[in-house]
Amino acid sequence: MLDIWTPIKLSLQVAAYSTLLVVIFGTFFGKWMARRRFPGKMLLETLFLLPMVLPPTVAGFGLLILLGNEGLGRFFPPGEGILFTQGSAIIASSVVSFPLMFQSAKVGFESVELELELVARTLGANAWQTFFYVSLPLARRGLLAGVLLSFARGLGEFGATLMVAGNIPGRTQTIPLAIYNAVESGQNDRAWGLVLCLFLLSFFMMAVIQRLQRKNAT
């Protein structure tokens, strides 16, 4: 039987860890940028959203330089760098999925009525209490949509992952890489199994996102 479970398991792990990272940073920066006005805000937002439109290979090349021996790799012992590990696959997925979480979080927090946050502050709540008990619950649907989009993007990441993590079976070979490898080697049954799995996962998450958007509209 052709192994399709190993890349599925690896993809779920990479997508889960990368989603955790982008939820933390995307939510923070989304909240921070929601209502602030400062010089250079548009440039900073453009920088945050750039991975959404750049080819993944461009992002992968940038990460290759950043994580390689000329970058952060110089601080690791020889042969123990970040490149071509599961960690580099997580970083690649995080970079390309971050704009989706950031934009969803920013829109979600912008939809929260400022008066409600001000009322909470006048009643004695500090900034963190206002965030956790007022802003976060009211923006939850936008945040959940960002989480699902980021997870789906992490599952489907190919170009950047291939450049910084390689295509190592059992180590960095995620579902898209396994599909590519199966097609190249003529293993059509394996390719179909992986494609079906990725399709069903993506379809389910997009269906949930559509439902959330309809609830927001009403």
Instruction: Over range 176-185, report the average pLDDT.
Output: 94
Which of 144, 172, 146 is closest to 158 using CA atoms? 172
Q: Measured in Å, how far apart are the chain's first and last C-alpha atoms?
A: 48
Is the pLDDT at 178 greater than 90? The verdict is: yes
Measured between alpha carbons, how far is 44 from 147 in angstroms, rounded to an integer? 22
Q: How far is CA 188 from the centre of its chain?
A: 29
**Span 5-217: which CATH code?**
1.10.3720.10
Structure tokens at 42: 């548009």
Measured between alpha carbons, how far is 214 from 207 in angstroms, rounded to an integer? 11
Boundaries of every domain in the chain: 5-217
The residue among 69 and 195 whose pLDDT is bigger is 195
Measured between alpha carbons, how far is 101 from 21 in angstroms, rounded to an integer? 10
Reported confidence tier of residue 217, pLDDT bands at 50, 70, 90 = low
Which of 17, 41, 18, 19 is closest to 29 using CA atoms? 41
Which pTM was predicted?
0.89
pLDDT tens profile 14-68: 999 999 999 999 999 999 999 888 898 999 999 999 999 999 999 999 999 999 8
Instruction: Over range 164-180, report the average pLDDT.
Output: 93
